[in-house]
């Protein structure tokens, strides 16, 4: 039960737990300083300077370092110093402040202890429809989050199932106790709320323009913030995948969000409203409706109508955390609304923390394409669970660690971040450190080759979302089609097709609109192309699909061979090897199922004569 105590992930250099009496970030900073520098020659002084808030400055002195910062800033400064010294990376210079004020981790934990799309075991804090946790583990969680600058944790699933509504009611004192455990690490709590909650309290409506509804939320907000004055805010999934929302009452999403935002504004609360709204009851015969269009069509006309404390949280792509999607055009289009970029650390589509999938290279691409200034906040769906190693696959902790660093500094480099995680987590000799860093950096492209070549997504097993099933979602209501037939595959999203491409600014629109200029990775996302279509490198489309699947499976095998040689702590090694074996089976399955599927449709032979099943 206490196995997690030995699994310190990137905090291995801080082996003792932070004692419970360290109840402020400054006291935590003092503790971490003593723990790390106790056995070293440097002298470190902590200088509190409230004007710096979350910011800090590390100043080398004759004897060691001064760390100056606000209450939380000092703590971040100490962690940054420890990271730099452990990973032998450059010391942060000058005053450092986080680029985004709100750096959220969204947990999809249900109160029955399950975690929606969770791949690291059950919830760390809910079980049996109640709070159930080890306070020491929650403090260690706070420490992990604080050590990489994550400053808000949403406790419950955006799909708010009973009894999670009670978090705002009789369970509020428990939320308050929980919040106190994370406060010393600079982490504030958020709660997902159910838009229809007033209806469980005698009201016959949740209409945001109804005064009784507004009054109910005002009263509720007052009670909640009295109990937890530093609650960061509410998170809402409305009118999405059967969740209640303002559309039921003929009201807009701006009207719905503003109503809640006004209730919490007096307390400085943020209302985070998710833009993941689409028709999940689509008839597959309907080729006009195109799911990726949905969010832009709904929200662009509302730009400028949201209150100042509303943050519209937008998934990075227009679909749903697929392996390769273009950037959501909404992130580029909305100019008068505060936006948050939503990422998913939980590997729902990319291998479920069985297959290796390091995300920093993807985030670098997303941030470069978007421009960091387009959003005011960042959120990521958590990959944590009750497993001893916290993240199912010990290497999946890299994604949590890196998310923190990217959310603090969106100019972070993928390779540097990965290397820093490797050095923080393991004491490997240089050759092994290079091996691990290299394969982590390649892991996404390997997965992409066997699971989402040319931007063809959704060929997955329905519901579980692990493993291949090319037609699994073809006749379903979710708007997730590949439309493969014996001649062609993909969806035409140009002006001649669904018109989705017109949601982009001109430069991107032009690039995506023509198959010749559309990046290979998105070719079949934007275009419907025949199997004999010639790619830029001269290969036919079908040959490229075959090649990617053969290469992906082969590279996964080479990766497994290389990673087997690593000298890791026993538990990490065992878990890594177990998962690698599963990944190899998965990659093989993807290769053979997808290649066979297209071979049967197209009748095309592989130019290299490799085995494809008839």
Q: Which residues bind ligand GCV (CB under 6 A)?
A: 108, 116-117, 158-159, 237, 241, 276, 320, 348
Separation between Cα atoms, residue 129 and residue 194, nearest integer Å = 17
For ligand GCV, the closer CB: 173 or 462: 462
List, in order, residues 6 or more apart from 513 with CB less than 8 Å away.
Answer: 494, 495, 501, 526
Given 241, 532, 581, 607, the catalytic residue? 241
Give the residues across from 190 on adjacent strands.
154, 233
Pairing state between β 130-131 and 126-127: antiparallel
For ligand GCV, the closer CB: 320 or 555: 320
For ligand GCV, the closer CB: 237 or 527: 237
- Strand boundaries in 292-409, DSSP class E: 310-315, 339-344, 377-381
For ligand GCV, the closer CB: 96 or 293: 293
Given 109, 342, 348, 387, the catalytic residue? 348
For ligand GCV, the closer CB: 320 or 325: 320
Residue with token string 């479920």: 352
Question: In whole angstroms, how far apart are CA 1 and each of 4, 225, 386, 388?
Answer: 8, 34, 10, 8
Shortest Å, Cβ 321 to ligand GCV = 7
Is the distance from CB of 529 to CB of 515 less than 8 angstroms? yes
Rg of the chain, C-alpha, whole Å: 25
Shortest Å, Cβ 138 to ligand GCV = 23
Is residue 320 flagged as an active site residue?
yes
DSSP 550-583: HHHHHHHHHHHHHHHT----HHHHHHHHHHHHHH
Is the distance from CB of 115 to CB of 109 less than 8 angstroms? yes
Nearest-10 Cα torsion for 578, 147, 436, 380: 70
For ligand GCV, the closer CB: 96 or 291: 291
* CA-based nearest residue to 29, from 51, 10, 49: 49
Shortest Å, Cβ 241 to ligand GCV = 6
Query: Cα(first)–Cα(last) distance of the chain, in Å?
Result: 49
Separation between Cα atoms, residue 480 and residue 473, nearest integer Å = 6
For ligand GCV, the closer CB: 72 or 382: 382
Shortest Å, Cβ 316 to ligand GCV = 12
- Strand boundaries in 225-267, DSSP class E: 233-236
Shortest Å, Cβ 562 to ligand GCV = 32
For ligand GCV, the closer CB: 158 or 213: 158
Is residue 9 left, alpha or beta, with left meaning phi > 0 and alpha meaning psi from -120 to 50? Answer: left
Record the tokens describing residue 272, joined without a space: 């985070």
Shortest Å, Cβ 111 to ligand GCV = 15
Is residue 516 flagged as an active site residue?
no
Record the tokens describing residue 110, joined without a space: 């249900």
Fill in the DSSP letter of residue 477.
S
Shortest Å, Cβ 369 to ligand GCV = 21
Shortest Å, Cβ 390 to ligand GCV = 20
Record the tokens describing residue 340, joined without a space: 């948050």
* CA-based nearest residue to 318, from 489, 475, 502: 502
For ligand GCV, the closer CB: 73 or 317: 317
Separation between Cα atoms, residue 453 and residue 319, nearest integer Å = 16
For ligand GCV, the closer CB: 158 or 563: 158
* Three-state SS sequence of 490-533: CCCCCCCCCCHHHHCCHHHHHHHHCCCCCCHHHHHHHCCEECCC
Given 32, 109, 194, 320, the catalytic residue? 320
Is residue 241 flagged as an active site residue?
yes
Shortest Å, Cβ 274 to ligand GCV = 7
* CA-based nearest residue to 70, from 186, 226, 194: 186
Shortest Å, Cβ 190 to ligand GCV = 15
* CA-based nearest residue to 598, from 454, 404, 385, 431: 454
Record the tokens describing residue 237, joined without a space: 């999934």
Which are the catalytic amino acids? 241, 320, 348
């Amino acid at each position: 039960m206490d196995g997690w105590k030995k699994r310190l992930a990137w905090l291995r250099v801080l082996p003792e737990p932070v004692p419970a009496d360290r109840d402020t970030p400054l006291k935590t900073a003092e503790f971490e300083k003593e723990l790390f520098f106790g056995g070293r020659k440097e002298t470190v002084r902590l200088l509190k300077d409230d004007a710096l808030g979350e910011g800090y400055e590390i100043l080398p002195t004759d004897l060691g370092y001064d760390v100056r910062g606000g209450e939380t800033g000092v703590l971040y400064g100490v962690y940054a110093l420890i990271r730099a010294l452990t990973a032998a990376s450059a010391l942060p210079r000058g005053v450092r402040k986080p680029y985004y004020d709100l750096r959220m981790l969204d947990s999809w934990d249900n109160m029955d202890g399950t975690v929606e799309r969770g791949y690291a075991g059950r919830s760390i804090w809910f079980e049996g429809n109640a709070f159930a946790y080890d306070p020491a583990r929650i403090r260690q969680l706070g420490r992990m989050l604080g050590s990489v600058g994550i400053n808000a944790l949403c406790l419950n699933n955006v799909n708010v199932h009973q009894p999670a509504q009670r978090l705002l009611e009789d369970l509020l004192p428990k939320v308050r106790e929980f919040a106190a455990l994370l406060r010393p690490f600079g982490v504030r709590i958020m709660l997902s709320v159910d838009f229809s909650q007033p209806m469980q309290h005698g009201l016959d409506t949740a209409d945001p323009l109804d005064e009784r509804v507004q009054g109910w939320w005002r009263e509720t907000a007052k009670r909640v913030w009295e109990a937890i004055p530093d609650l960061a805010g509410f998170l809402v999934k409305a009118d999405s995948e059967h969740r209640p929302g303002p559309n039921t009452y003929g009201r807009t999403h701006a009207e719905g969000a503003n109503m809640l935002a006004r209730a919490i504004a007096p307390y400085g609360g943020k209302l985070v409203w998710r833009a993941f709204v689409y028709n999940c009851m689509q008839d597959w015969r309907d080729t006009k409706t195109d799911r990726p269009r949905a969010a832009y069509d709904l929200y662009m006309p509302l730009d400028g109508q949201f209150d100042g404390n509303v943050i519209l949280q937008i998934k990075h792509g227009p679909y749903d955390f697929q392996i390769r999607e273009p950037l959501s055009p909404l992130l580029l289009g909305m100019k008068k609304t505060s936006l948050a970029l939503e990422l998913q650390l939980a590997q729902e589509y990319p291998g479920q923390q069985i297959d290796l999938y390091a995300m920093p290279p993807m985030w670098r691409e997303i941030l470069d394409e978007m421009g960091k200034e387009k959003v005011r906040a960042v959120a990521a769906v958590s990959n944590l669970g009750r497993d001893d190693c916290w993240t199912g696959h010990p290497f999946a902790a890299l994604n949590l660690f890196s998310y923190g660093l990217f959310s603090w500094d969106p100019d972070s480099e993928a390779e540097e971040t990965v290397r820093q995680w490797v050095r923080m987590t393991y004491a490997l000799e240089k050759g092994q450190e290079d091996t691990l860093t290299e394969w982590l950096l390649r892991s996404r492209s390997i997965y992409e080759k066997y699971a989402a070549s040319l931007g063809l997504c959704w060929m997955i097993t329905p519901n579980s979302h692990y493993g291949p099933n090319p037609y699994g979602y073809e006749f379903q209501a979710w708007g997730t089609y590949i439309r493969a037939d014996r001649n062609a595959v993909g969806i035409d999203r140009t002006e001649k097709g669904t018109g989705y491409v017109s949601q982009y600014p001109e430069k991107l629109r032009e690039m995506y609109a023509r198959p010749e200029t559309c990046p290979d990775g998105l070719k079949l996302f934007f275009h419907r192309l025949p199997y004999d279509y010639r790619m830029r490198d001269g290969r036919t489309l079908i040959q490229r699909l075959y090649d990617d699947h053969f290469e992906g499976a082969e590279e996964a095998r080479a990766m497994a061979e290389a990673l087997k040689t690593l000298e890791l702590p026993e538990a990490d090694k065992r878990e890594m090897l177990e998962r690698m074996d599963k990944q190899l089976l998965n990659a093989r399955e993807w290769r053979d199922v997808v290649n066979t599927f297209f071979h049967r449709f197209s009748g095309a032979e592989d130019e290299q004569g490799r085995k494809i099943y008839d």
